[in-house]
Homo-oligomer: A and B are copies of this chain.
Amino acid sequence: MDAQDRIPMGEVSRRSGFAASALRYYESQGLIRAERSPGGQRTFRRSVLRRLAFIRAASNIGLSLEEIRAELDSLPAERTPTKSDWHRISRHWRNRLDEQMAALERLRDGLDSCIGCGCLSLKHCGIANPGDVAAGSGEGAAYLPRLLRRDPLPRRRETGPT
């Protein structure tokens, strides 16, 4: 109602943990919305904080921004999400995690079965050459989910929190 509860950039950045540049980027990508002050500066509604928490969580689960955007769009309008919204989504996320864990398990089992042999033969080793997908094509299959990554989450700076 009252224009009073609009939150300015800096505060949203501080409270959400996202750098201001990230917030601007999310806005440009349609993940969040902002109104403008007469002078052209962004003002956010309180609900953006919940939205940002959602984004953070989803991205921790491993969803791309594009997927996150789609999922946010599936939450009707600017309404506070209900329990059933949340159930639907968390089921989805849980599947994601389960798939990833299963892929890692397959990989680990393949590795274990390789440890004895010292092999790593192009044609036989299940880990150099996991046949899951496209295994029919004669030579090296070379496909695997690839849901791995190592870096400790990118550098966060600018107006962001200390």
A149 / chain B contacts, CB cutoff of 8 Å: 62, 146-149
Interface centre among A60, A125, A144, A147 (most CB of B within 10 A): A60
What is the count of identical protomers in the complex?
Answer: 2
Report the interface size for chain A: residues with CB under 8 A from the other chain. Answer: 65
A56, B150: Cβ atoms closer than 8 Å: no
Q: Is A115 an interface residue (CB 8 A)?
A: yes
Known contacts: A128-B56, A137-B162, A142-B56. The answer to whether A120 contacts B50 by CB under 8 A is yes
- Produce 1/0 per residue, A127-152, CB < 8 A to B: 11110000001011111111111111
B156, A145: Cβ atoms closer than 8 Å: no
In the complex the two chains form, what is the Cα distance from A128 to B15 in whole Å? 13
Chain B nearest CB: distance from A45 CB in Å? 14
14 extra A-B contacts, CB within 8 A, seeds A94-B108, A98-B108, A144-B153: A14-B139, A17-B139, A50-B122, A53-B129, A57-B128, A61-B107, A62-B148, A64-B150, A90-B115, A97-B111, A101-B108, A145-B152, A146-B152, A147-B150
